[in-house]
Structure 1
């Protein structure tokens, strides 16, 4: 064994020792380091030591263990891992069963063997809610679900789980199949989740409606999605904007456009971005007086990013190309500037170039003109 190999072995032995440390942060760092190793360095001993942490009392350690074990799907040890995980799904400890299911999920379709799939279906009726939720997620992530009537029927039953979160996970899984799964009972369940007290469930329901938008877009659903554009949860507002965008011109009404226009001043750049995309999908929203008025009002906003979005929408939605002199003046500094520079200049949250002054933009434009 060469010097380099000896050093690597010493490093691995040190990490394996750290896995036994009383401090959870030390254990987590060790697991994280093992996860980042070359897959060729994984051994049966490392796998077993990681499996010994699936019941760790620290959830962050367990999370990193899941990621580390999932990397074994690139190694000859993977069949052995699947067998060990299948065994662990029958462990008396619920945390072990749940973590084992999580590893299957991270392994994606590599874990979609008949034995694993059958066991995951069994776990969807486990006594523990976390195990049930992880099992449904694993079935979805491993792409083990078919669009057969039997599969959809089983998932629809799971949407009525006594635990709301498990039911929501099942909703996400079944809506992957699109319109074939859009039964009245599912839509009713999704609609109820839109008003749930838990932010994560409202987010899940909004995402689900986005996938089935054109099939289940009743006035009541649209009204509720518009209401979610003012939700306290950033993710919920984001999902609501995406769902409304999926509806396109079908949802182009003053109240919908008003809700999306409000999101143009949202604190989160992703929410603002999806609000812009949703408005673009609705056609010429400037045909609505409320939209024209609000967009021109946003041209006076203190934020350059918001002014830019408003100007962009006004420019794109000008049907006859007769952009007003005011708008032409706004765009003059940006003529010839690349998309990358514009994005860097106006994305205030992730700005790499900085908030360029007007004169700097003019100079950049001059340099890039042919």
Structure 2
């Protein structure tokens, strides 16, 4: 691959690795970035709109890695929200997890919507992302349990089981007899592991 003169030197090795489909090398390169040696986020934002899905995926990954060491993750909120509707499910997955890794609580409604994605892979990633957001996502997840589609309810229960705080326990108390066997199982197991189930059964 001939280096692109419009791309900063720091990104040239990454572009070569992506073109060679050497994901291990590409990942090692973004992990080497530091606060004083990382490309500006603006240099990679256009990658999110590339024709090539692989470039878009690496755009999400590279932007997330750079934001971790340089800050500015809030500037990625809207671009990553848009990628939650990407035609490629791998890009949607990466975007969901990136929003959570960057602590973007404002993306909670978007991630809840992704619990109903056509791709099971994306639905699972959205649930993992909501679990990563932690306590702040509990009200939205509780709302899904209260009135969502059954598949989304199962994913919401999974996310709540990973958060596992007093707030999630308070939610799960209401679903020990739920019609959805997965929701019921997550409620039972979580309360049991937290040591609250015996109290419930005694009461």
Give the TM-score normalised by structure 1.
0.42
- Match of residue 237 from structure 1: 123
- Match of residue 185 from structure 1: 75
- Match of residue 256 from structure 1: 141
Supply the distance in 1 between the matched residues of 2:124 and 2:136 (Cα, whole angstroms): 19
Supply the distance in 1 between the matched residues of 2:159 and 2:147 (Cα, whole angstroms): 9
Supply the distance in 1 between the matched residues of 2:197 and 2:185 (Cα, whole angstroms): 21
1:312 paired to 2:189:
yes
Supply the distance in 1 between the matched residues of 2:44 and 2:91 (Cα, whole angstroms): 15
- Match of residue 173 from structure 2: 292
Alpha-carbon spacing, 1:204–1:238, altered in 2? closer, same or farther (3 Å)? same
Shift of 1:149: 4.6
Unpaired runs of at least 5, structure 1: 1-88, 91-116, 125-129, 327-370
Alpha-carbon spacing, 1:229–1:122, altered in 2? closer, same or farther (3 Å)? closer
Supply the distance in 1 between the matched residues of 2:65 and 2:122 (Cα, whole angstroms): 19
1:206 paired to 2:96:
yes
Shift of 1:180: 3.1
Indicate if the aligned counterparts of 2:131 and 2:160 stay in contact, CA closer than 8 A: no
Deviations 1:256-278 (A, max 9, x none): 22436889x649x9x68853543
Larger radius of gyration: 1
- Match of residue 16 from structure 2: 123
Shift of 1:224: 0.6
- Match of residue 283 from structure 1: 166
Alpha-carbon spacing, 1:323–1:118, altered in 2? closer, same or farther (3 Å)? closer
Number of equivalences: 191
Unpaired runs of at least 5, structure 2: 3-9
1:170 paired to 2:59:
yes
Shift of 1:234: 1.2
User: Relative contact order: is structure 1 or structure 2 higher (C-alpha 8 Å, sep ≥ 6)?
Assistant: 2
Alpha-carbon spacing, 1:143–1:197, altered in 2? closer, same or farther (3 Å)? closer
Alpha-carbon spacing, 1:261–1:235, altered in 2? closer, same or farther (3 Å)? farther
Indicate if the aligned counterparts of 2:112 and 2:141 stay in contact, CA closer than 8 A: yes
Shift of 1:121: 4.5
Indicate if the aligned counterparts of 2:85 and 2:92 stay in contact, CA closer than 8 A: yes
Supply the distance in 2 between the matched residues of 1:311 and 1:205 (Cα, whole angstroms): 31
Supply the distance in 2 between the matched residues of 1:236 and 1:261 (Cα, whole angstroms): 22
Alpha-carbon spacing, 1:309–1:287, altered in 2? closer, same or farther (3 Å)? closer
Supply the distance in 1 between the matched residues of 2:12 and 2:69 (Cα, whole angstroms): 28
Alpha-carbon spacing, 1:150–1:314, altered in 2? closer, same or farther (3 Å)? closer
- Match of residue 197 from structure 1: 87
- Match of residue 7 from structure 2: none
Give the TM-score normalised by structure 2.
0.70
Indicate if the aligned counterparts of 2:115 and 2:122 stay in contact, CA closer than 8 A: yes
Supply the distance in 2 between the matched residues of 1:318 and 1:262 (Cα, whole angstroms): 27
Q: How does 1:126-165 map to 2 (within 5 A)?
A: 131=19, 134=21, 138-142=25-29, 145-153=32-40, 156-161=42-47, 162-163=49-50, 165=53
Indicate if the aligned counterparts of 1:245 and 1:279 stay in contact, CA closer than 8 A: yes
Indicate if the aligned counterparts of 1:156 and 1:171 stay in contact, CA closer than 8 A: no
The RMSD of aligned alpha carbons is 3.9
